[in-house]
Amino acid sequence: MSHPGHPIIKLVVQRLALGLILLWAASVLIFVGTQILPGDVAQSILGQSATPETLANLRAELGLNEPALGRYLHWAGGVLHGDLGKALTNGQDIAHEMAGRLANTLFLAGCAAAIAVPLAIFLGLLAVRYQGRWPDRLISGVTLATVSVPEFLLGYIAIYFLAVRFRLLPSLATIYDGMTLGEKIYAISMPVLVLVLVVLGHMMRMTRAAILNVMQSPYVETAELKGLRPFTVIARHALPNAVAPVVNVVMLNLAYLVVGVVVVEVVFVYPGMGQYLVDHVSKRDVPVVQACGLVFAAVYIGLNLLADVISILANPRLRHPK
């Protein structure tokens, strides 16, 4: 007779192994992608007036004359030891420069998630409670409209109305050391609003679909026959059994909040990872682009792994195998 924990442990280990393989594959794709970018790194650093001898010396110094496989192994080996390299444009340590930027991005994504996740679940419950009636249609229509509008357009609309026209919120999300938590939250209120609008619709619709699927189950019908209030039936009996798909969609959107903030950060000139990446793409600073790409990939894969593991743990068939 097998131990009850074995199936879960086996599946979790399989997911972790798959995550590591995906991260390795992502590192290869990121490296190859940066190598086939048009232009010459040495030329972009030294400018058009550089002599051939100076260019050759810089290429040798940067290791650009080495075979691609050797450069990849050197870069991957450094990453495994926690060394992301140095920026070509200013010689700064990338890991040190990135730490503050990543903290800013996680702060922005965390604030957006703190509003979007409970609001999406509540609106999903409300839509199920009034299924087919005007509250359901209104919630679905508004959230679908916000999902359909690109982030940059939502950002510029928000800037025009909330910052320029009515002067309610700051148009630039500038934060720096020494600000209080309240000042930081006020400064990032506009990009948080845009991010909430972007992810809210998808989370709400998937929550609604997952709960509606569970509502057909016999135990939900039994709860209804007992005379419990409709909202109580949905919240206490249907929602807990729809946890796995809801968690999956929440984690996917959290991953998007961290990885997909590039456009929003650029629109609001927010000092996060997205702005850092765009600044160095324009300068063709390959080590920074590679490091940012790898961090984004690790966050995305990590949150998806977490969603898988939570779904496995939430599955009663795996928790109590026969």
When the pLDDT of each residue in the chain is averaged and rounded to a whole number, the result is: 88
Decide if 19 is inside a domain: no
More confident of the two residues 233 and 173: 173
pLDDT per residue over 205-223, tens digit each? 999 998 998 888 888 888 8
Decide if 241 is inside a domain: yes
Q: What CATH number does residue 100 fall under?
A: 1.10.3720.10
Contact 59, 42 (CB under 8 A): yes
What domain count does the chain have? 1
Cβ burial 102-126 (10 Å sphere, 16+ → b, else e)? bebbbbbbebbbeebbeebbebbbb
More confident of the two residues 125 and 320: 125
Decide if 296 is inside a domain: no
Decide if 29 is inside a domain: no
Please provide residue 50's backbone torsions phi and psi, each rounded to the nearest 5 degrees.
-70, 145
Predicted pLDDT of residue 272: 94
Decide if 1 is inside a domain: no
- Could you tell me what percentage of the chain is helix, strand and coil, using 3-state DSSP and rounding each to the nearest 5? 75, 0, 25
Predicted pLDDT of residue 315: 66
Predicted pLDDT of residue 2: 44
pLDDT per residue over 64-78, tens digit each? 778 889 989 999 999
- Share of residues in the chain with pLDDT > 90 (%): 51
pLDDT tier at 1, thresholds 50, 70, 90: very low
249 Cβ contact partners less than 8 Å away, ≥ 6 residues apart: 202, 203, 206, 207, 210
Please state the pTM of the whole predicted model.
Answer: 0.87
> What kind and span of H or E run contains 322?
none
Decide if 28 is inside a domain: no
Q: Which of these ranges, 45-54, 179-188, 256-265, has the smallest mean pLDDT? A: 45-54
Confidence check: pLDDT of 90 > 90: no
Q: Which domain holds residue 133?
A: 90-289
Decide if 251 is inside a domain: yes
How is residue 21 written in tokens? 């393989």
pLDDT tier at 264, thresholds 50, 70, 90: very high
pLDDT tier at 321, thresholds 50, 70, 90: low
Decide if 270 is inside a domain: yes
204 Cβ contact partners less than 8 Å away, ≥ 6 residues apart: 120, 123, 124, 127, 139, 140, 143
